Structure 1
Amino acid sequence: MKYNWFVAFMIVFLSVGLQAQDFQGKAVYQSKTQVNFDFGNRNIPEDRKKDMMARIKRANEKTFVLNFDKTASIYKEEEKLEQPGERGGGRGPRFGAMAGIDGDLYKNIQEQRYLIKNELLGKIFLIDDELEALEWKMGSESKKIGNYTAFKATATKTIKRPNMSAIFRRPGRGEEHKEEEKKEEEFTIKEVEIVAWYTPEIPINQGPGLYWGLPGLILAVNDDITTIVCSEITMNPSEKIEIKAPTKGKKVTQAEYDEISQEKMKEMRENFRNRGGRDGGRAN
């Protein structure tokens, strides 16, 4: 009960202060995704496997920047410099909950809509859809994240991820293998518990990726394999931030984009298997 009164007081107190000014902010997030890649029946040297796993790991360690104001935000990946001796900047398959966000993500909390500009195999798409409202359960547990006091909240979310192991599995021989391969899905769908940490000291309903809806900026969020943590916050930067929704690309809903993406994944799987898996599991 004391916790509820404290949070309510902080929200009201800080909201009054922030509403008195046209405030903006910038939050930097570090994202890491645990990856378990099944090499199946491919005869790949151990040093080659280690190199592939290192590239996949680097491809799933990212830095994102969230620029926000009272009602809207832009969330985008910060480009990495290519390391010496690294081809293609270490790109590889992305397994996390944020895997579908390769371009600018615009969220408008007031309108409860989002726009994502994604490139899929050379074609630009503009995903335009409603924000999903998670049923957050507020907890009393708190901890410090940087200079801010953050409180815990949890919710259940259905997450759809590409099954890269199935796509790049080397085709087996015989009818038995063919039947097993037909059962493999290009995507896996599961319900996971989302654990978020938000701070009432910045009383806006924003957060990294498509996460939102808590009485304070979400500083950290974790699903079953991906962890995103805020490493830096700048309030009211000296240079004004322009928060504009992306406009380029073929406009589709999230469901339409998922269907197109799934068809492309099937094409990749068929093309790979028609070549007999000669790429040795190359995933970039």
Structure 2
Amino acid sequence: MNVPKVVGVVGGGRMGAGIAQVFAVAGAYVTIAEADESAAAAALQRVEHGLAQAEAKGKLACRPEDALGRVQTVTSVSALPPEANLVVEAVPEIVEAKLAVLTAVEAVVGPEAVIASNTSSLSIGDLGSALEQPTRFLGMHFFNPVPASTLVEVVRAPDTSGSVIKTVLGWVEALGKTDIVVKDSPGFATSRLGVSLGLEAIRMLEEGVADAESIDRAMELGYRHPMGPLRSTDLVGLDVRLAIAEYLHATLGERFCPPQLLRDKVSRGELGRKSGQGFYDWRQ
């Protein structure tokens, strides 16, 4: 199966730009919707930079200029192409923001279009309840960095139709990625497990069990994890991990209560790689 011919992505941050990049490389025409011209230009620059990086590593299946030529930006969801086969929402993990985007998307695209959220933890069923056709809605949880990651977590809500799941699994395969299908539940499979490990690693650091490098090395060498939980938290973003932890704490209970160290770092603006400082110093 081929990728969808026309794809919309709402939100051109690190995740949204990565999603746009992989679909464009696979041959889709992609439109990124952002809030204004400045944000749109930054999104396109992220895609261009990602393509250049992939080419430098010898991991690009087409010329970067060809893929970039299939990407355009707009400054309103209403300007997305109505013929889009798929629109992926990739805005921050704020329920109200996602609901507003999803209802705006549904007002633009045709009745056969698939609508997906890249949320890493929020209920797909709750988000889909805002749509007139929740049967065409599901979660497509990509991972950072999207071009290098091989997994897409496909989240099926109670209303998601089987035909939509089948179509999306074909698209995931056409992207050269591997799927897992999970039912809609707080944190799904990946965030629930990843956050659980990350929070415990932060508690260990908070308690002085070991330093950050030793805790990470324990998982990398002892359990063959490609990256330790603290460095992974830096890459995800401490603010993102805190938001997910707070949601899981509210829905699943005390085992997901965020450690004070995580709260303190976020309040100081130590958000990980994107701010230059997290559990590691990224300014070097």
TM-score for both structures, normalised by structure 2: 0.23
The structure having more radius of gyration, on CA atoms, is 1
Higher relative contact order (CA 8 A, sep 6+): 1
TM-score for both structures, normalised by structure 1: 0.23
- Which structure features the higher share of helix residues? 2
- Which structure features the higher share of strand residues? 1
